[in-house]
Structure 1
Amino acid sequence: MPEYTVLTAVSIVLVVAFELLWARTGIFRSGIYWGSMAIVFFFMIWVDGWLTKLSAPLVLYEPAMMLGVRFPWDIPVEDFGFGFSMVTLTIICWIRLGREEKKA
């Protein structure tokens, strides 16, 4: 079973559900959010591409735990999903905690 793939997919679903059903910050309608994600992924491609390049990897993955799809520069596609979940959840929490702090 490709556990890394499954856990990445579950994290995406949970973060999107968290935003849409509870946090409701509106980030998915925000150009600033999508611009921020573009910047994150731009730098992620350079750094992750260097760390995971198959010619001389610094980070190794168990092939049975992933789909095996890699692009660009040998980056496992699951890394993009995990990056999306991690950064999006951080932004959602940052916004929610800021709103609650202003109420107090």
Structure 2
Amino acid sequence: MPEYTILTLIGIAAVIGWELGWARTGVFGSVRYWLTMVIVFFFQIWVDGWLTKLSAPIVNYNSAQLSGIRFPWDIPIEDFGFGFAMVTLTIICWIRLGPKEHR
């Protein structure tokens, strides 16, 4: 399996595991979290789609490091997993390290 795909899957599993096993902030049960993710993915589709379009790419990936699945348009599917892990980890850390009344 390609390196970027493996690292993305590890990142997703690590963030979910950390939330469910240790942090326990309850983000996955929060409507605000899921609305945040919808907003993040909406803008990611437009920006990432423009940056990675195969017809005139601004960002090039080594195809040997990807699964080869691109959706929608020409966005490597791994980018969504990476975005999920990065934004989710940031939100979890924000909640855990913030004021106690927000935990």
Q: In which range does the TM-score fall when normalised by the shorter chain?
A: over 0.9
Give the match for residue 15 of structure 2. Answer: 15
CA RMSD after TM alignment? 1.4
Partner of 1:51: 51
> What is the CA–CA distance in structure 1 between the aligned matches of 2:53 and 2:100, rounded to whole Å?
43
C-alpha displacement of 1:72 = 0.8
- Give the drift of 1:100: 5.1
Q: Percent identity?
A: 70
Mapped to 2, the partners of 1:81 and 1:13 lie a distance apart of 10
Aligned residue type for 2:13: V
Q: Which amino acid aligns with 2:29?
A: R
The one-letter code of the counterpart of 1:80 is F
2:93 — aligned with what?
A: 93
Letter in 2 for 1:9: L
CA deviations over 1:28-77 (Å, ceiling 9, x no partner): 00010000000000000000000000000000000110100001120000
What is the rounded CA distance, in whole Å, between the counterparts of 2:82 and 2:101 in structure 1?
Answer: 28
Letter of the structure 2 residue corresponding to residue 6 of structure 1: I
Note the residue ranges of structure 2 that are not aligned, 5 or more in a row: none
Superposition pairs for residues 1-104 of structure 1, below 5 Å? 1-99=1-99
Stretches of structure 1 that go unaligned for 5 or more consecutive residues are: none
Partner Cα distance (1:61, 1:94) in 2: 31
The one-letter amino acid of 2:32's match is: I
Classify the secondary structure of the residue corresponding to 1:48. Answer: helix
Q: Distance in 2 between matches of 1:86 and 1:100?
A: 23
